Amino acid sequence: MITERSKLSIVILLLLVTVAEQQAPKGKKRVVDPEAYLDACGITLLHGYACQEHSVLTKDGYILKMQRLSGKGRGRSEKAKIGQPVFLQHGLFRSSIDWLINRPDQSLAFLLADAGYDVWLGNVRGNTYSKQHVSLNPTMKRFWRFTFDQMAEYDLPAMVDYVLDFTNHSSLHYVGYSQGNLIGFACFSEAPDWAKDKIKSFHAFAPIAFLGNVKSAFASLRPFFWFLNWMLEQFGKEFLPKRKFVRWLGEKLCAGRAAFLCKNVLLLIGDYHPKSVNALLATRSMQKFDYGFEGNMKHYGQPEPPLYHPERNPVPTAMYCGSDDLMSDQLDVKRLSEQTRNLLGIYEYEGIHHLDFTWGLNVVSTVYAQFMQVLSAQCA
């Protein structure tokens, strides 16, 4: 049975397509960027870099994909000398490809590879590269029953341990963006001894742990999340899956003068908060997922979800913040920094938005340049 909300959602979707059609230039053939449908290794190889894809099995059965890349002329033979491993972890609804999306001289993964680092790109469960499980598949609801807690408890340790075993290094440098920081702080504070041994430095782009002062557009639009939830239901819980309809919709909505629709939607989606982040918004604390009284008693043995304690994170940590970041608010970052016992520094940049840290063209000479200096000092 089609509900009234489902009907309204379909109408909204059709209106968006209609607007896009009316705004599209008439008589002109749409030009699709050749990189649009390449995967992470495809883009890497296109630019002349070496790329490997690795599979990692978590303790609870998820199979995660990671990409490893090295600079031009490096990493093509076993004898090639490669520097210390640097692990990049993407943000919410994102994947490893975000670190490669711009030109090589503007994308952090390529810049690190050119500097001689051994670059590894992580992917958490459920994203486009990590949709396998030993006994489940994405059509099952059980496959999607996870939160940030499982990413911190299972995904991140599995990927880090794999990288260190594969490279014969004892530790690596961790770079997180947005959600990548949330699971980083959660993981390192829950397993401080493990983190102290295996994470040499932690670099937090758009650091997130507390969301008490978030000014995101979606924070005020939460009454309309039902539309996004409806869309997720239609696509089997997956956000923007690789299907023909989504490809067609993207080409319709993101072409010509209608491209503003995509740009503005991405700005909103960049700050979208699923249920597990809504808990952070409501409590102003960094806590595990709230299953309700009965669920909490079953999962945690207590009526309230346990808190994370970022002050237990032993890793030397640097934070990189944007003045116009509506998601990673400066007051929340200040609170987080005060609880970070081994703080390398807080670096603030004017005019930088949340999405700029991976997609922006204005961060190379500012954020990335500063980061490279801090990273180099930690490699000594």
Q: Which residues are catalytic?
A: 178, 325, 354
Q: Which of 30, 42, 62, 15 is nearest to 256 (CA)?
A: 30
Tokens standing for residue 314: 């032993």
Amino acid at site 232: L
Amino acid at site 291: Y
What does the alpha-carbon distance between residue 232 and residue 141 come to, in Å, rounded to a whole number? 12
Contact 107, 101 (CB under 8 A): yes
C-alpha separations of 80 from 75, 164, 241 in Å: 5, 18, 37
What does the alpha-carbon distance between residue 346 and residue 330 come to, in Å, rounded to a whole number? 11
Strands 317-322 and 118-122: unpaired
Phi-psi region of 342 (alpha: psi -120 to 50; beta: other; left: phi over 0): beta
DSSP designation for 305: P
